[in-house]
Amino acid sequence: MKDTMQSDVLLAAHISVRYGDRPSVLRDVSLEIRRGEVLGLVGQSGSGKSTLAMAILGLLDRKRARTEGAIEFEGCALLTYRERELRSLRGRKIALVLQSPLSSLNPALKIRTQLKEAWRAHAVGSSADCDGAIRAALASVSLPSNEEFLRKYPSQMSVGQAQRVLIAMAVMHRPRLLIADEATSALDVITQSEILALFRQLNRSSGMAILYISHDLASVAGICDRIAILHQGQIVETGTTEQVLTSPRHEYTQRLMAAMPKMAERIAVGKAAAI
């Protein structure tokens, strides 16, 4: 049984992060992401959510930030990796989608060019292979792959379309883990709902695990299998979505729930929509 449980863990982290002599941003944070699950990481601004994401990806400035502990991904110790090894991992096995799509995309390049660059970063093949991968990635996020669309610049698309392009780039190489860092917070309510449904669809169709980082409990309740609550640099509670949101144990989680008294109803609605 123990071996089965261990093999089910895709990523395991136990880390502390500090900048210089300042107090630690993360303190003894322990987090596990299982294969094929959607894990929600919830916390207010400044709690350390993005720092944890950047630590997993090896994107913290090692000259300024000191990361102690261990991060294991598919049995590999990521904190021992050199930058060259991390670059081969990012985008191919672990992908990232950020908050602002129009800031993340290059405004001077057409969508086709940016998708090609994303493919060639981790693949070798003909132009036909590249075009096929682009079409498949765009189809997976319900975007067209015709010439008219591929010739567009980011400024010629809606924010929702731009976010779908970012997600297409992120899933192009079928990563084991997708980190979505506040990926819906810049979107209107309708577009946010569409992107959440897209994340869940990608999770179910490909088995890709997702670390969904957000301060929005309502969106977390709709798509996440488990939730970890991050407060002042520490994980204070972890459990299934229903456990955490209907029977919170930690005082901070209880305060979050008190601020959203109708969360139980939202959980029920979210589950019904996901079926």
Q: What percent of the chain has pLDDT over 70?
A: 92
Residue among 34, 88, 42 nearest 207 (CA):
34
Is the pLDDT confidence value at 4 over 60? no
Residue among 56, 181, 76 nearest 67 (CA):
56
pTM over 0.75: yes
pLDDT tens digits for 219-270? 898 899 999 999 999 999 999 999 998 899 999 998 888 877 665 555 545 5
* Domains defined for the chain, CATH in brackets: 2-93+173-274 (3.40.50.300)
The region, left, alpha or beta by phi > 0 then psi within -120 to 50, assigned to residue 182 is left
Residues 245 and 264 sit within 8 Å (Cβ to Cβ):
yes
Q: What is the mean pLDDT of the chain?
A: 88
Average pLDDT of the segment spanning 193-205: 91
Amino acid at the residue 258 = A
Please calculate the CA angle 204-209-211 and round it to the nearest 5 degrees.
125
**pLDDT score, position 45:** 85
pLDDT tens digits for 133-191? 999 999 999 999 999 999 999 999 998 899 999 999 999 999 999 999 998 887 888 88
